Amino acid sequence: MTKTRAILRAIFGIHQHHEPATRRRAASRSVMMRVTLDAQHVTPLRRALTRDCAGQPWTIRIATLPHTERVQLSLYLPKDAVNGAIQQVTRIAPAAQFGHLFEIPDTPTDGWRDLLRATSWAQAASALRPAKPAAKAGDDEVDTLDRLLSARNVLLDADIADRDVLFAQLGAFCESRYGVPASRVIDGLNSREALGSTGLGQGVAVPHSQIAGLFSAVVLYVRPRVPLDFDAPDARPVSDVIALFVPEGANTMHLNLLADVAQRFCDQHFRQRLHECGSAGEVCRLFANAGEPSGAPSPSQSPVPHAAARGGASSAQLRA
């Protein structure tokens, strides 16, 4: 447990010191932390967090783990409250397990909401399956980033001036490789972008669309030579683009791929290793071998959304 706490603090730059109360109250909610623990510990933990986060916006969401006495909590907390929350969890539930940690932008785009909804949906669907069946051709479960991404779909140091040029190149690529009209791909990307930027922050964007006439899912990874402006919530230019295209109406496939993006690209260590890849082959090997982020629950532990309990000054704006 001590090692886990040290890792979490290192990831988010959290140090053991006490912030002035006025500063704590002014902080914005910016981290989602998942914790698995015995159900009996939920009430005392919620009381402790209510006291510790007084005057700050925070939310706790509860999901049951089927056939167990344990639950998974999704805690939405101000960044400077995470250290205290880790200490409370350790004190109240020493056997607790820490899972995903996502650093959420202060002003998240619809792209973030896509990912969080997809992650929640994929976990719920996984929990309903008692065992993973053998993969079959065309089965949605085989459609993961590592299976779909090939070296020919990795574009490194691409000469791309802006988002329009990126979409044009993605359209031309899909037309050449998959026989889908470039205009249809471009229109799909622009329509999705009109709903809100798919820039996630931290230099990552995930443009995605369902495309009529496409018969299988397509994943492309693009690293522009010069980072692109993408209207990201943190205003940082984008250096990592993971583009997703699925057949029209393939909602399950679409959600599974978005969930896969969330699990990988919300992990800063994965992003760092990705930036170190110097060839398309290295990128594909990283996707194939990286697995889930450290501490991520296995499919058998994934929860079915059950209940949400709110606390603090305001309710959550993001739905997990």
Report the SS3 class of residue 88: helix
99 in the same domain as 114: no
- Sign, Cα dihedral of 74, 93, 51, 12: negative
| Position 141 in a domain | yes
> Is 71:39 a contact under the CB 8 Å cutoff?
yes
Residue 64 phi, psi dihedral angles, 5° rounding? -75, 150
In a domain, 296, yes or no: no
Looking up tokens 């792209």 gives 111
Which pLDDT score, from 0 to 100, does residue 107 have? 62
Among 78, 46, 45, 74, CA closest to 61: 74
> Any long-range contacts for 142-148 (C-beta under 8 Å, 24+ apart)?
143/217, 143/253, 143/256, 143/257, 144/256, 144/257, 144/260, 145/219, 145/242, 145/257, 145/260, 145/261, 145/264, 145/287, 146/284, 146/287, 146/288, 146/290, 148/217, 148/218, 148/219, 148/257
**86 with 149, same domain?**
no
pLDDT of residue 73: 86
Same domain, 238 and 273: yes
Is residue 278 situated within a structural domain?
yes
Single-letter residue type at 30: S
Q: CA-CA distance, 249 to 262, in Å (whole number)?
A: 21
- Please count the structural domains in the chain: 2
99 and 117 fall within a common domain: no
Position 235 scores a pLDDT of 85
Same-domain status, 206 and 271: yes
| Assigned domain for 218 exists | yes
Q: Among 208, 269, 275, 306, which one carries the catalytic annotation? A: 208
**Whole-number pLDDT of residue 103:** 67
Q: Within a domain: residue 305? A: yes
Can you spell out the DSSP letters for 96-130? -EEEEEEE--SS--HHHHHHHHHHHHHHHHHHT-S
pLDDT per residue as tens digits for the range 19-55 = 444 444 444 546 777 788 898 999 899 888 888 888 7
Cα 169–104–246 angle (5° rounding)?
A: 35
- Same-domain status, 257 and 136: yes
Strand 304-312, strand 218-224: pairing: unpaired
Strand bridging mode 240-247 / 218-224: antiparallel
Distance of alpha carbon 2 from the chain centroid: 25
Same domain, 17 and 116: no
Ramachandran bin of 120, using left for φ above 0, alpha for ψ from -120 to 50, beta for the remaining angles: alpha
Residues 280 and 150 in one domain: yes
Domain shared by 27 and 148, yes or no: no
For residues 125 and 245, membership in a common domain is answered with: yes
Which residues pair with residue 80 across a beta bridge?
A: none
Question: Per-residue pLDDT tens for 56-71?
Answer: 888 888 888 777 888 8
Within this chain, do residues 87 and 158 fall inside the same structural domain, yes or no? Answer: no
Residues 202-218 have pLDDT tens digits of 889 999 999 999 999 99
Has residue 295 been placed in a domain? no
Cβ atoms within 10 Å, residue 279: 11
Tell me if 231 is assigned to some domain.
yes
Q: What are phi and psi of 113, to 5 degrees?
A: -65, -35
Maximum C-alpha span of the chain: 60
Bridge partners, residue 78, by sequence: 29
Helices and strands (H, E) in the chain, number of each type:
11, 11
pTM over 0.85: no
CATH number for the domain that contains residue 278 = 3.40.930.10
Domain span at 38: 2-103+301-312
Confidence at residue 292, expressed as pLDDT on a 0 to 100 scale: 41
CATH code of the domain in which 68 resides: 3.30.70.120
15 as an active site residue: the answer is: no
Mean pLDDT by 10 residues, the chain (320 residues): 42 39 45 84 89 83 81 82 85 82 64 64 46 43 81 94 95 94 96 87 90 93 94 88 93 83 81 93 90 37 30 25
Q: Residues 78, 58: one domain?
A: yes
End-to-end CA distance of the chain: 25
Residue 294 lies in a domain: no
Buried b (16+ CB within 10 A) or exposed e, 266-276: bbeebbeebee
Residue from 127, 96, 132 nearest 301 by CA: 127
